[in-house]
């Protein structure tokens, strides 16, 4: 790496954390922090981390999380079942469905290497999304609340988790090509949003402008004096800007950019690129973003990370050739991420980072179980998701889609089994469960849904 420049403002670690406290107080954050601390009993909360993997475009459940037996759902029954697996149209797969090591836990033909993690995975099937619009579905899952039109309502679940866990993290919430929203959480819980490794390096690295230490200290003193004046104290906008200055400079001062120099010829960086399968000039690829999430989590930089795992899933045509490979690339990438975390010892303990990290895979909705006239699949209301790693009851299937149109079925939350008198699962049930996994039992973000006991270890 090039020689580090002197940052424009060089606050101490104490100043950096103090600035974060100032930011919190401006937006009700300190009161909010106390509220979340009491709700989650943070003093005894598990040392847990979260990675959210977004499959962009709407995934086909028949090819992945929720296969159907082609021997039962035959073409001559399409008019009765409204389910058309169409596995016979696929030319590049040899097995469908894929049988895992867990009896009764099968997957579609493009589940790839993620099938090996079935014993440590839970799959939630038969979810309802209440929308057929990409933006609304994505925001519906991210917040656990139906949007107002296309506008997200409330904070993203990642911000709520970061608000509970990330007060002492350099970046509590890191998001790569995944939306995030913060309307009522502490300021530090807002996601640092990037599109590539270069974006992250731009935030963490000193700028091109360099001042001597003496000049930098004098500028800092002047700004500190400005921050202490009554006019500034009376203006949340000015005070927030000054605190953000200290927070940003504090990140630069820690030298975290070296951890993400993925283009380097250093042996560790070469090994990382080889593991995730990306070139030194492909720093905006899904693979690079996954490596970024793993690095940020295992380096102690963040407690909550999100990244885009798969793209090009919106296959209204060319389904047979295009959807499966794009879907499998995402599943294989998550499998690589899980293997990476599981290979790293956790803080000198007998466990691994995967034991202390919950991976969640999601999409905005699924695709219709019947092919359309163009040989593709359109948008469908039902959905599914998977959870893997720490805190999750592995080898578990929660819920099921029906045998007519794959519609959601009510579920007994305690057992995870289909129950006509039970509950139709929605994203808010997932978020309540994740919050329960770290000790937050109150409905702190007004999801108005119960948690799923059958999901947790």
- For residue 13, what pLDDT band results from cuts at 50, 70 and 90? very low
**What are the backbone angles phi and psi of residue 42, rounded to the nearest 5°?**
-60, -25
Residue 434 lies in a domain: yes
Residue 245 lies in a domain: no
Residue 378 lies in a domain: yes
Contacts of 50 (CB under 8 A, 6+ apart): 158, 161, 303, 304, 305, 357, 358, 359, 360, 434
CATH classification of the domain holding 88: 3.40.720.10
**What are the backbone angles phi and psi of residue 332, rounded to the nearest 5°?**
-65, -35
Enter the DSSP assignment of 157: H
219-242 pLDDT, tens digit each: 777 767 777 787 777 776 666 555
Tell me the C-alpha to C-alpha distance, in Å, between residue 64 and each of 47, 54, 218, 380: 31, 14, 59, 15
Percent residues over pLDDT 90 in the chain: 73
How far, in Å, CA of 354 to CA of 342, rounded? 5
pLDDT at 15: 33
The two tokens of residue 43 are 């003093």
Residue 75 lies in a domain: yes
pLDDT at 242: 53
How far, in Å, CA of 114 to CA of 112, rounded? 5
First to last CA, the chain: 43
The two tokens of residue 310 are 């798969």
- In b/e form, how buried is each residue of 262-288, taking b as 16+ CB within 10 angstroms? bbeeeeebeebbebbbbeeebbbbbbb
pLDDT: which is higher, 455 or 47: 455
pLDDT at 49: 97
pLDDT at 115: 97
Enter the DSSP assignment of 425: B
How far, in Å, CA of 323 to CA of 247, rounded? 42
The two tokens of residue 382 are 């039902």
pLDDT at residue 283 greater than cutoff 90? yes
Comparing CA positions, the residue from 161, 138, 140 lying closest to residue 305 is 161
pLDDT at residue 142 greater than cutoff 50? yes
Annotate 101-149 with DSSP letters as a single string. SSTT-EE-TT-GGGGGGGGGEEEEEEEE-S---HHHHHHHHHHSS--BT
pLDDT at residue 38 greater than cutoff 80? no
How far, in Å, CA of 224 to CA of 242, rounded? 8
340-372 pLDDT, tens digit each: 999 999 998 889 999 999 999 999 999 999 999
Average pLDDT over residues 213-224: 75
Residue 2 lies in a domain: no
Quote the number of domains for the chain: 1
Residue 264 lies in a domain: no
232 within 8 A of 226, measured Cβ to Cβ: yes
Burial of 23 (0-12, 13-18, 19+ CB in 10 A): buried
Residue 253 lies in a domain: no
Arithmetic mean of pLDDT over the chain: 87
pLDDT at residue 71 greater than cutoff 70? yes
110-124, 246-260, 264-278, 393-407: the lowest-pLDDT one: 246-260
- For residue 388, what pLDDT band results from cuts at 50, 70 and 90? very high
Q: Which domain holds residue 64?
A: 47-195+284-455
pLDDT at residue 276 greater than cutoff 90? yes
- CB-side neighbour CA atoms (13 Å) of 144: 26
157-183 pLDDT, tens digit each: 999 999 999 888 899 999 999 999 999
Average pLDDT over residues 56-65: 98
pLDDT at residue 40 greater than cutoff 70? no
pLDDT: which is higher, 318 or 39: 318
Comparing CA positions, the residue from 381, 399, 335, 324 lying closest to residue 361 is 335
Rounded to two decimals, the pTM is 0.86
Rg of the chain over all Cα atoms, to the nearest angstrom: 23
Enter the DSSP assignment of 57: T
50 within 8 A of 305, measured Cβ to Cβ: yes
How far, in Å, CA of 174 to CA of 378, rounded? 32
pLDDT at residue 1 greater than cutoff 70? no
81-93 pLDDT, tens digit each: 999 999 999 988 8
pLDDT at residue 282 greater than cutoff 70? yes
Residue 149 lies in a domain: yes
The Cβ of residue 335 has, within 10 Å, a number of other Cβ atoms equal to 18
The Cβ of residue 11 has, within 10 Å, a number of other Cβ atoms equal to 22
């Amino acid at each position: 790496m090039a020689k580090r420049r002197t940052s424009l403002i060089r606050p101490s670690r104490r100043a950096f954390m103090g600035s974060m406290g100032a930011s919190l107080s401006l937006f009700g954050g300190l009161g909010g922090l106390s509220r979340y601390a009491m709700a989650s009993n943070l003093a005894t909360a598990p040392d847990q981390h979260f990675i959210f993997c977004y499959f962009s475009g709407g995934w086909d459940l028949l090819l992945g999380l929720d296969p159907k037996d082609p021997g039962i759902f035959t073409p001559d029954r399409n008019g009765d079942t409204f389910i058309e697996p169409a596995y016979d149209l696929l030319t590049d797969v040899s097995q469908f469905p894929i049988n895992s090591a867990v009896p009764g836990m099968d997957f579609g033909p493009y589940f790839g290497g993620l099938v090996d993690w079935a014993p440590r995975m839970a799959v939630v099937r038969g979810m309802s999304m209440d929308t057929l619009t990409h933006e609304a579905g994505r925001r519906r899952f991210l917040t656990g609340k139906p949007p107002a039109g296309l506008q997200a309502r409330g904070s993203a679940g990642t911000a709520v988790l970061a608000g509970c866990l990330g007060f002492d993290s350099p970046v509590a919430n890191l998001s790569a090509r995944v939306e995030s929203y913060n309307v009522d959480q502490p300021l530090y819980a807002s996601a640092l949003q990037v599109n590539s490794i270069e974006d992250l390096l731009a935030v963490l690295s000193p700028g091109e402008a360099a001042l001597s230490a003496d000049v930098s200290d004098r500028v800092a003193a002047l700004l500190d004096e400005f921050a202490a004046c009554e006019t500034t104290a009376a203006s949340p906008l000015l005070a927030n800007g000054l605190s953000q200055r200290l927070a940003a400079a504090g990140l630069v001062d820690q030298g975290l950019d070296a951890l993400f120099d993925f283009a380097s010829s250093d042996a560790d960086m070469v090994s990382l690129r080889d593991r995730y399968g990306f070139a030194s000039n492909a720093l905006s690829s899904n693979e690079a973003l996954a490596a970024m999430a793993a690095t940020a989590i295992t380096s102690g930089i963040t407690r909550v990370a999100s990244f885009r795992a798969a793209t090009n899933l919106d296959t209204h045509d060319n389904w047979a050739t295009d959807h499966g490979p794009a879907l499998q690339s995402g599943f294989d990438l998550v499998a690589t991420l899980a293997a990476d975390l599981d290979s790293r010892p956790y803080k000198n303990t007998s466990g691994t980072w995967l034991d202390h990290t919950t991976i969640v895979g999601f999409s905005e909705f699924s695709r219709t179980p019947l092919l359309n006239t163009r040989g593709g699949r359109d948008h469908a209301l039902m959905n599914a998701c998977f959870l893997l790693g720490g805190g999750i009851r592995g080898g578990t299937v929660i819920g099921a889609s029906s045998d007519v149109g794959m519609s959601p079925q009510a579920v007994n939350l305690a057992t995870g089994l289909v129950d006509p008198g039970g509950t139709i699962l929605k994203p808010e049930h997932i978020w309540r469960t994740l919050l329960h996994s770290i000790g937050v039992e109150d409905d702190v973000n007004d999801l108005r849904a119960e948690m799923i006991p059958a999901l947790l270890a």
